[in-house]
Chain A
């Protein structure tokens, strides 16, 4: 008993010494850096908290009483204010929200699904062109071809997909991006013996993929899905160019901002920002651990 306690104490001491050794930075420097960290965190948080608080003021109150909490908390900018402004295409904020939600969920689904399929096939099967596909995926990440935007517009018009939801989803369904590399790295390290065991039981390649491999890759798939969804929700350029008549929230927010600023209707503008930002903050907060574990550890290497 005593020996056990002693060994425990020793290991505790060892851990403490290791930590002491790790924190070999002088104290004063540590506190200076800490102050910098706090400062940077404040610059990130403060504007949004300030907007949140001010979105509960009436327009007249905001103009006379800018700093501090509202004297009476009013929800008018959420119930009326944000509806006063719409997009150039004539959509109000609720319609834009719906549009964004549809595109985000469907877009994240097709993009993750196809990159998962492609990454699995390329990593686990041998066929002609396997190396070419992987090489092209890496090359596309490293070398940007910027002149292709006008060509892309022309292609979408040629295929009659310009300004349609299907067209936008088609653009989002690209399989060979960063997600492909992430899934590839994951599947390469999964042992093939799972598949062999299933094959003995009579499973074919499709069953192996959908019943065994996808459940095994649940963690990375959820993490990539959430990150992709956040990216699509926030995407500005693709819907702005390829879907001009159906405005998404990220694009519409810019139009609402301009219109509300002209009317000096700041609380409504802040409310619109909050409506855009909050869903993703909630999503991130819920899946924070999965995202951090599966993407940061996987890393990004070129």
Chain B
């Protein structure tokens, strides 16, 4: 048991030597045997669960990229066949290209429309608008209602027969097909994402603005800074870390988002995304290797982009922390 204690304390003594006056020294505490047992017991299940659901699964997925099911439903090694098939389908199949374009466009929709709009909204919520407390609670709604119900509510006004927006448009002589036609359906899905995402982003961003010390903005105002400058030169830089996180999350949407279009249109009329293709294949239990290949290659291409953006965005206004 003392061996374990020694093992645990090794890291401590080493870090002490490199970092002489860190918080570790202040505590002046060596891990006793009891503490070691505590650490092991507390972390055993979480680490095991992580190793299985993340490491084991990802090693499995990488292996799946180089395997294929034969006619007896057994997996065989096939080398780079799946990778070649992935690039070939991209080259010859316009429907596949459509899937990637749809997915990619979620980035500008989130980062250039939804998040800026939410930032402006949050700024005005902060400005002691009447009923701002009520709005804050109402805007939380998209976060507590299941996507199934939310998509249903969004489609309702456009339904042929009883949707009031549909009826209104028909009275004006516009017979539009909202979800039944090729470009319209995808545009409606983007509109849905802005509509539902706005609530989520407003909650987080108005929280961030609320954490900015009032004195900072007040002194700026006393110097005669107008609302425009206050917003762009003070509020935006001060909530930059939260904005960075939201933009990163918006970028990961490109790969992960599928539920919204899936529930709105079931992927019909050109609304498929990368995530939806993978989800449908995983449900069917056949052709798993193509889903694994698509997912892994997309992650390999997209993850460096995300990390680069994160790196540059965090450098932009370094040292701000609200």
One digit per residue, 1 when the CB lies within 8 angstroms of any chain B CB and 0 when it does not, for chain A 94-117 equals 000000000000000000001101
Question: Please, which residues of chain A bring their CB within 8 A of the CB of B294?
Answer: 147
A24 touches B230 (CB 8 A): yes
- Contact partner, B291, options A30, A125, A147, A284, Cβ 8 Å: A147
Bound CA–CA A70/B71 (angstroms): 59
8 further A-B contacts with Cβ under 8 Å, apart from A117-B46, A296-B203, are A24-B226, A25-B227, A120-B42, A133-B43, A143-B303, A171-B53, A173-B49, A175-B49
* Chain B stretch 121-147: residues in CB contact (< 8 A) with chain A: 121, 124-125, 127-131, 134-147
Bound CA–CA A266/B60 (angstroms): 45
- In the assembled complex, A200 has its CB within 8 A of some CB on chain B: no
CB distance from A230 to the nearest CB of B (A): 5
- Chain A residue at smallest Cβ distance from B258: A237
- In the assembled complex, A82 has its CB within 8 A of some CB on chain B: no
Name 30 A/B residue pairs within 8 A (Cβ), A-sorted.
Answer: A33-B124, A40-B198, A41-B139, A44-B138, A115-B46, A125-B35, A127-B12, A127-B39, A128-B8, A133-B47, A142-B252, A146-B256, A149-B295, A150-B61, A150-B292, A153-B282, A175-B50, A205-B38, A236-B148, A237-B279, A273-B149, A273-B152, A280-B144, A284-B140, A295-B207, A296-B204, A296-B206, A300-B204, A300-B242, A301-B245
CB distance from B48 to the nearest CB of A (A): 10
Question: Please, which residues of chain A bring their CB within 8 A of the CB of B256?
Answer: 144, 146
- In the assembled complex, A135 has its CB within 8 A of some CB on chain B: no
Question: Please, which residues of chain B bring their CB within 8 A of the CB of A164?
Answer: none
- In the assembled complex, B31 has its CB within 8 A of some CB on chain A: yes
Name B residues whose Cβ lies closer than 8 Å to a Cβ of A: 7-8, 10-12, 15, 24, 27, 31, 34-39, 41-43, 45-47, 49-50, 52-54, 56-58, 60-61, 64-65, 121, 124-125, 127-131, 134-149, 152-154, 156-157, 162, 164, 195, 198-199, 203-204, 206-208, 210-211, 217-218, 221-222, 226-227, 230, 241-242, 244-245, 248, 252, 255-256, 259, 263, 274-275, 278-279, 281-283, 285, 288-289, 291-299, 303, 306-307, 310, 321-322
Question: Please, which residues of chain B bring their CB within 8 A of the CB of A115?
Answer: 46
Report the stretch among A1-9, A45-53, A71-79 that lies at the interface: A45-53
CB distance from B265 to the nearest CB of A (A): 13
A154 touches B50 (CB 8 A): no
Report the stretch among A14-22, A83-91, A215-223 that lies at the interface: A14-22
- In the assembled complex, A80 has its CB within 8 A of some CB on chain B: no
- Contact partner, A302, options B45, B131, B147, B245, Cβ 8 Å: B245
One digit per residue, 1 when the CB lies within 8 angstroms of any chain B CB and 0 when it does not, for chain A 245-266 equals 0000011011001000000001
Scoring A22, A150, A233, A281 by chain B CB atoms within 10 A of each residue's CB, the highest score goes to A150
Q: SS class of chain B's interface: helix, strand, loop or mixed?
A: helix
A150 touches B140 (CB 8 A): no
A19 touches B244 (CB 8 A): no
Question: Please, which residues of chain B bring their CB within 8 A of the CB of A67?
Answer: 164
CB distance from B219 to the nearest CB of A (A): 10
Question: Please, which residues of chain A bring their CB within 8 A of the CB of B310?
Answer: 142, 302
B46 touches A127 (CB 8 A): no
One digit per residue, 1 when the CB lies within 8 angstroms of any chain B CB and 0 when it does not, for chain A 262-302 equals 00001001000100110011001000100010011101111
- In the assembled complex, A197 has its CB within 8 A of some CB on chain B: no
Bound CA–CA A61/B176 (angstroms): 27
CB distance from B154 to the nearest CB of A (A): 7
- Chain A residue at smallest Cβ distance from B240: A301
- Contact partner, A174, options B49, B153, B206, B307, Cβ 8 Å: B49
B129 touches A37 (CB 8 A): yes
One digit per residue, 1 when the CB lies within 8 angstroms of any chain B CB and 0 when it does not, for chain A 127-160 equals 1111001001000101111111111111100010
A241 touches B46 (CB 8 A): no
B153 touches A47 (CB 8 A): yes
Bound CA–CA A172/B47 (angstroms): 14
Bound CA–CA A253/B153 (angstroms): 13
Bound CA–CA A24/B124 (angstroms): 11
Given contact pairs A151-B292, A250-B148, A280-B144, A205 touches B259 in the complex (Cβ within 8 A): no
Question: Please, which residues of chain A bring their CB within 8 A of the CB of B61?
Answer: 145, 147-148, 150-151
CB distance from B144 to the nearest CB of A (A): 5
Given contact pairs A40-B198, A47-B157, A257 touches B148 in the complex (Cβ within 8 A): yes
- Chain A residue at smallest Cβ distance from B282: A149
- In the assembled complex, A176 has its CB within 8 A of some CB on chain B: yes
Given contact pairs A21-B218, A34-B129, A142-B248, A176 touches B306 in the complex (Cβ within 8 A): no
Question: Please, which residues of chain B bring their CB within 8 A of the CB of A273?
Answer: 149, 152-153
A128 touches B42 (CB 8 A): no
Scoring A48, A147, A280 by chain B CB atoms within 10 A of each residue's CB, the highest score goes to A147
